Amino acid sequence: MSRGGKRAGAGRKAQGITRKVSLTLTEEQWNQIESSGEPTVAAYIQSLMYKVTPIIKETKIHSESSNTNHREYQGLKRKEAEEYWSIFANFEESAAPEVLEGARAVFLRVLFPMGVESAQLEVKPNFICPFTGKRFGSVKAMIKAAVPHLAESERRRLEKLMKSQ
């Protein structure tokens, strides 16, 4: 039985390309990033990218293929997402109502930009959460995990706002 060392296919699969960068911003700009509620600067930049060029499009289930990769998408209706949110938000007792409402607003804004009624979630072969990048076997499991994550992010954002005032 071999132990240690590099093995083909071992380890966590990469979720993207890591590049080290240095950002020079004003104090006001850094405060804006910190008060955004995003857990990292990278998450903040990604949230801005979603607003400008959303990767979640208003379409039903479809596949997109190229020579190098094959991507599959699963459609999610806004009404279904809101129903799941309501179910799982009821179990998030530690979060204040205003925190959950703010988290819900982020949830809907990211999944359904510009008020679209149908979101498209990338499946590889699992559902990729647009908030954490984690993979889930179902939309229901993804939303169940998103509720406490977004509630905690919103709680931190509100705490920072209160401290700055």
- The residue behind tokens 């949830």 is 107
Among candidate residues 121, 82, 79, 119, the one with its CA nearest the CA of residue 104: 82
pLDDT at 165: 80
Q: What are the pLDDT digits (tens) for 47-87?
A: 776 553 333 433 333 444 443 455 666 788 899 888 888 88
Residue 128's DSSP bridge partners are 135
Q: What are the pLDDT digits (tens) for 22-47?
A: 888 888 888 888 888 778 888 788 77
Supply φ then ψ for residue 136, to 5 degrees: -135, 155
Count the neighbouring beta carbons within 10 Å of the beta carbon of residue 130.
20
